[in-house]
Amino acid sequence: MNLLDSSTRLAAQAFLSALPALFVVAVFAPASLKHGIVSSMQEQLGLKGISSDQIKQLMAPKSDDVAQGFGVFGALVTLLSATALSRALQRVFERCWELPKARGRVAVGRWLLWLGVWLIVMVFQHPLHDGFGAGRWLGLPLTFVATTALWWWTQHLLLAGRIPWGPLLPGAVLCGVAVLGVGAVAEVYLPRAVSESVTRFGPYGVVFTALSWLIVLFTALTVAVTLGRVIAQEPEVSRRLGSAEPEPEPEPAATAPETGAGPATGAGPLAAGPAEPPGNGPEPEDRPGT
C-alpha cells in the first residue's frame, strides 16, 4: 500500500468534506455546538489572533437569510457528499487488510453513521482534551482512550465486521498514540506556522497550513493502521487476540484422475476383471471315458 498516496487522498477528502459539513453546522446548529467546534478547530490547528477571528466570523452567520437560502435539500446534499472521507477511509482499510470492496448499498449507512459520530466527536474534543475542566493530567488519558476507541470502532464499522474486534486493537492503540503525538507537535509548531502563512498569503495561509497538517496527521494514522495489521499477525499476538484473517471461500474439489489408473467402470473384457489362464479351470463334468 502506498502510504503517502493514501495519506494525501485522505487529507484532501477530509479538507473537502469537513468544510462543507462545518458550513452546514454553522448555518443550522445552535450556538453551543458552534462554540465547541470552533474551540476544537482552534486547538487542533493552533489558530490565534487574526486566523481565529476569521474562523469565528465564518461559523457565525449574521441572519437567518443564509439558512433559508441554503435550504434543507442543500444541507442533505452537502452531508451526502461529505461521506467521501468515509469512503476513502474504507478503501484504505480494505487495502491494508487485503479485502474486496464492500457492497455499496449497505455501505452508505455506515458512511453516514461514521460522519455523524465524527461531527459529535468534534463538538466534545476540546472539553475532553481539557479533562472537562480538571486539566491536562486527566485530559490526556481521556483523549487517548477516546481516540483508541474511536479508531477501533471505525475500523470495524468500515470493514463491515469482516475482521474480528481483537486483531483491530493494535492498530487502534497505535492510532491513539499517533493522534496524541501529532497533537503535541502541533501545539508547538502550528501557531507559528499559521501566523507566518497568514502574513504571507492572507486568509489562504490558513488553508495551506491546515492541508499540510492533515497530510501529516493521516500519514501517521495510515502508518499506525498498517503496523497494527503487521502486529496482529504475529503468532503470539494472534494467539491472544484471535485470527486476523477472514474466512477463505471454499474452493471446488479437484477431480483429476490418478496417474496410471484405469477406468473404474466400463464395458469390454477389462471391465469383467482379468481372464484366468488356460488349463487352470475346473474339469468338465462329461469328460469322455477312456
Query: pLDDT (tens digit, 0 to 9) for every residue of the chain, 290 residues total?
Result: 678 888 889 988 888 876 677 667 666 767 667 777 777 776 666 666 665 666 666 565 545 555 555 566 667 777 777 788 899 999 999 999 999 987 766 678 898 899 889 888 887 887 888 888 888 899 999 999 999 999 999 999 999 999 999 999 999 999 999 999 998 888 888 878 877 887 888 767 778 888 888 899 999 999 999 999 999 999 999 898 887 666 544 444 444 444 444 444 444 444 444 545 455 444 444 444 44
Angle at which helices 136-158 and 165-201 cross, to 10° = 110
Q: Is the pTM of this model over 0.95?
A: no
**Which one, of 282, 259, 262, lies nearest residue 274 by Cα?**
262
What is the rounded CA–CA span in Å between residue 279 and residue 289?
A: 19
pLDDT at 199: 81
User: H helices of the chain, where?
Assistant: 3-28, 31-45, 50-58, 65-81, 84-97, 104-129, 136-158, 165-201, 204-232, 235-241
In three-state secondary structure terms, 36 is helix
The residues spanned by each domain of the chain are 3-241
Q: Dig out the grid coordinates for 17 from the structure.
A: 468534506
CB within 8 A of 214, min separation 6: which ones? 10, 11, 14, 15
